[in-house]
C-alpha cells in the first residue's frame, strides 16, 4: 500500500536545491523501492526568484515558518538554511508542532543539540542530522545503528573537504597556501570568508557530534582542541613527503575508559595509512571498535547532491520509523560526571626549529627534549635563511611535555624559534 508523505524545505540554496531535485527526480524510484510517495508541498525561502529557479510553483512558496508549522498535512521538514538563527527558532517551532526535522546544520546541532532534542521529545517528533557530518557518507547511521555491539575506541577522520582540497593542492602541485585557497574559492569549495573551514571550526563542530555518538556521552565542541591549516608551509609538506608522510587536517576522538581526547589539527599521516590517499574534496572516517576492529567510510563530504542524498536518506528513515530515534546518553550539553576530556594527549611530533649555524646547538636542543622526557626518533636538517632548520621527529610524548620543550627551546641563545609543530599519526 502506497504511503504519501508531504515534505517542506526551509532554505532552497545549494543543499536545499539538491534535496528538492532528489525528491522530485527520484520520486518514482522511491515510490517503487520504498513504497512512499514523497511530495514537496511547501518551500520557505526569502528569495522568491531562487524558488522559481528550481521550477517550484509559486503556490508552494510558504510565507512564513508558521504556515509550515500549522499545515497538518506536512509531516517532515528539511532545514537547509544554515547558521544558528533563525534556523534554531524555526526548527524548534516545527518540532513542537509534531513534525520531524531533518537538518544538515552541523554548527546548530553541535551548539544546541540538547535544546533541539528537548523540543523534538515534547512534540513527539524526530530530529535527524545524517547530513551534518561528512556529506553523503552515512557515518552517523553506522554509529547509531551499525556498530552498537562495539565499544568505539577511536574515530579519526578527514571531515572538511575545503581544507583537504587545499592541502592536496599544496602536496601534489607544490602550491602555496594562499594560491590553493584562492582556487578552492573559485571552485566553490571554500567560502569568501574561509575561517570556519581553514581554522578548524567546521571540523570541530562535526567531531563534537561524531564523538558524542561514538562514545555515548556529550563531547561539547568547546572542549575540542582546535588548530587550523593556515601556518602549514610548502617546506613542511616537502620535508614530510621525504619522511614518508602526507599532511591532513584530522579530527581525532579517542576513548580509554572514562578519559576522552578530542582534537582537530594538521597531522602528518604515514603514506601507508588509508587516510593518506584521501585527496581533493573527498572525506573519510576511520573507526576502530573493540570487536569490529578497523573500518573506513569514504566519499564526497560536501556538495548539493551528496549532502542532499544524506538528507533524503533521513527523510526516508523518518517516514518509515515506528518511533523517533533520540540520543542514547544524557544529552544536556555538559561533560558527564566521571568523564574527563583531556587536552594532554599523547602523540608523535614533528618540529622544525630555526637555529643559528653554530657548534653545539643540536646538543642544546636535544638536551631540552631530554629534560622534558621527549625522546627523539630522527633528526635532519634543511637550509633556513642565515642559519639552518633542524627537523626533529619524536617518539610518542605528552602534549604538555612537548609544549614545555618548545618554550625552553625558544629561550636558548642559539635558537631563533620553533617554526613548525605538527603532530604525527602513530
The string of DSSP letters for 74-112 reads EEEEEE---SSTTHHHHHHHHHHTT-EEEE--HHHHHHH
Per-residue pLDDT of 134-157, as tens digits, reads 989 999 999 999 999 999 999 999
**Closest C-alpha to 308, from 103, 144, 38:** 103
Phi, psi values for residue 307, rounded to 5°: -70, -40
Q: Give the confidence band of 412 by pLDDT, cuts at 50, 70, 90.
A: very high
pLDDT of the residue at 371: 97
The single-letter DSSP state of residue 143 is I
Q: How is domain 139-302 classified at the CATH fold level?
A: Dihydrodipicolinate Reductase; domain 2 (3.30.360)
Q: How is domain 3-132 classified at the CATH fold level?
A: Rossmann fold (3.40.50)
Q: Give the confidence band of 115 by pLDDT, cuts at 50, 70, 90.
A: very high
What are residue 285's DSSP bridge partners? 157, 297
pLDDT of the residue at 36: 97
Alpha carbon distance 345, 424 (integer Å)? 12
Provide mean pLDDT across the span 385-394. 87
Q: Is the pLDDT of residue 233 over 70?
A: yes
* Low-confidence winner among 22-31, 182-191, 253-262, 341-350 (lowest mean pLDDT): 182-191
pLDDT of the residue at 384: 63
Residues acting as catalytic residues: 206
Q: Chain centroid to CA 387: how far?
A: 39
Query: What is the percentage of the chain residues whose pLDDT exceeds 70?
Result: 99
Provide mean pLDDT across the span 35-42. 96
Host H or E run for residue 246: strand 245-256
Query: Which segments of the chain belong to CATH 3.40.50.720?
Result: 3-132
The single-letter DSSP state of residue 222 is G
Sheet holding 36-44, edge to edge: 36-44, 3-10, 74-79, 100-103, 127-128
**∠ CA 352-357-358 to the nearest 5 degrees?**
125
pLDDT of the residue at 191: 85
Provide mean pLDDT across the span 162-179. 95
Q: Give the confidence band of 387 by pLDDT, cuts at 50, 70, 90.
A: confident
Q: Is the pLDDT of residue 182 over 80?
A: yes
pLDDT of the residue at 280: 92
Query: Are 267 and 250 contacting, i.e. CB atoms less than 8 angstroms apart?
Result: yes
Burial class (CB in 10 A: 0-12, 13-18, 19+), 49: exposed
Burial class (CB in 10 A: 0-12, 13-18, 19+), 90: buried
Query: What is the percentage of the chain residues whose pLDDT exceeds 90?
Result: 92
pLDDT of the residue at 355: 93
Domain 346-424 falls under CATH 1.10.150.120 = no
Q: Is the pLDDT of residue 386 over 70?
A: no
Phi, psi values for residue 416, rounded to 5°: -95, -60
Angle between helices 234-242 and 161-173 (to 10 degrees): 70
Q: Give the confidence band of 213 by pLDDT, cuts at 50, 70, 90.
A: very high
Question: Contacts from 357-362 at CB under 8 Å and sequence distance 24+?
Answer: 357/386, 357/387, 357/388, 358/414, 360/414, 361/390, 361/412, 361/414, 361/415, 362/390
Per-residue pLDDT of 64-90, as tens digits, reads 999 999 999 999 999 999 999 999 999
Per-residue pLDDT of 120-129, as tens digits, reads 999 999 999 9
- Tallying the residues shown for the chain, one arrives at 426
Alpha carbon distance 161, 135 (integer Å)? 9
Query: Which segments of the chain belong to CATH 3.30.360.10?
Result: 139-302
Amino acid at each position: 500500500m502506497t504511503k504519501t508523505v508531504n515534505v517542506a524545505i526551509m532554505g532552497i540554496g545549494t543543499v536545499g536545491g539538491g534535496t528538492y531535485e532528489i525528491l522530485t527526480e527520484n520520486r518514482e524510484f522511491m515510490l517503487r523501492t520504498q513504497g512512499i510517495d514523497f511530495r514537496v508541498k511547501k518551500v520557505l525561502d526569502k528569495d522568491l526568484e531562487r524558488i522559481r529557479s528550481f521550477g517550484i510553483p509559486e503556490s508552494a512558496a510558504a510565507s512564513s515558518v508558521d504556515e509550515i508549522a500549522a499545515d497538518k498535512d506536512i509531516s517532515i521538514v528539511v532545514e537547509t538554511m544554515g547558521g544558528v538563527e533563525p534556523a534554531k527558532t524555526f526548527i524548534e517551532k516545527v518540532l513542537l508542532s509534531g513534525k520531524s526535522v531533518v537538518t544538515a546544520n552541523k554548527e546548530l546541532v553541535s551548539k544546541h543539540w540538547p535544546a533541539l532534542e528537548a523540543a523534538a521529545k515534547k512534540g513527539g517528533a524526530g530530529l535527524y542530522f545524517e547530513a551534518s557530518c561528512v556529506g553523503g557518507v552515512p557515518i552517523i547511521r553506522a554509529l547509531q545503528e551499525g556498530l552498537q555491539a562495539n565499544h568505539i575506541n577511536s574515530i579519526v577522520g578527514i571531515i572538511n573537504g575545503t581544507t583537504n582540497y587545499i592541502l592536496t593542492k599544496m602536496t601534489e602541485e607544490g602550491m602555496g597556501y594562499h594560491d590553493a585557497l584562492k582556487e578552492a574559492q573559485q571552485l566553490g569549495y571554500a567560502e569568501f570568508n574561509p575561517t570556519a573551514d581553514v581554522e578548524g571550526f567546521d571540523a570541530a563542530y562535526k567531531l563534537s557530534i561524531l564523538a558524542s555518538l561514538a562514545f555515548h556521552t556529550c563531547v561539547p565542541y568547546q572542549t575540542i582542541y582546535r588548530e587550523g591549516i593556515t601556518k602549514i608551509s610548502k617546506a613542511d609538506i616537502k620535508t614530510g613527503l621525504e619522511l614518508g608522510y602526507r599532511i591532513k587536517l584530522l579530527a581525532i576522538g579517542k576513548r580509554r575508559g572514562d578519559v576522552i581526547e578530542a582534537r582537530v589539527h594538521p597531522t602528518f599521516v604515514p603514506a601507508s595509512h588509508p587516510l593518506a590517499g584521501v585527496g581533493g574534496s573527498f572525506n573519510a572516517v576511520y573507526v576502530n571498535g573493540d570487536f569490529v576492529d578497523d573500518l573506513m567510510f569514504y566519499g564526497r563530504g560536501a556538495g548539493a547532491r551528496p549532502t542532499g542524498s544524506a538528507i533524503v536518506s533521513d527523510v526516508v528513515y523518518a517516514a518509515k520509523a515506528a518511533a523517533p530515534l533520540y540520543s542514547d546518553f544524557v544529552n544536556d550539553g555538559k561533560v558527564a560526571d566521571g568523564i574527563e576530556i583531556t587536552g594532554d594527549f599523547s602523540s608523535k611530533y614533528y618540529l622544525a626549529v630555526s637555529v643559528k649555524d653554530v657548534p653545539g646547538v643540536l646538543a642544546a636542543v636535544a638536551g631540552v627534549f631530554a629534560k622534558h622526557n621527549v625522546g627523539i626518533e630522527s633528526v635532519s636538517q634543511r637550509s633556513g635563511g642565515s642559519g639552518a632548520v633542524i627537523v626533529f621527529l619524536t617518539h610518542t610524548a605528552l602534549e604538555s611535555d612537548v609544549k614545555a620543550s618548545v618554550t625552553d627551546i625558544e629561550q636558548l641563545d642559539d635558537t631563533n624559534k620553533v617554526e613548525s609543530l605538527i603532530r604525527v599519526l602513530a
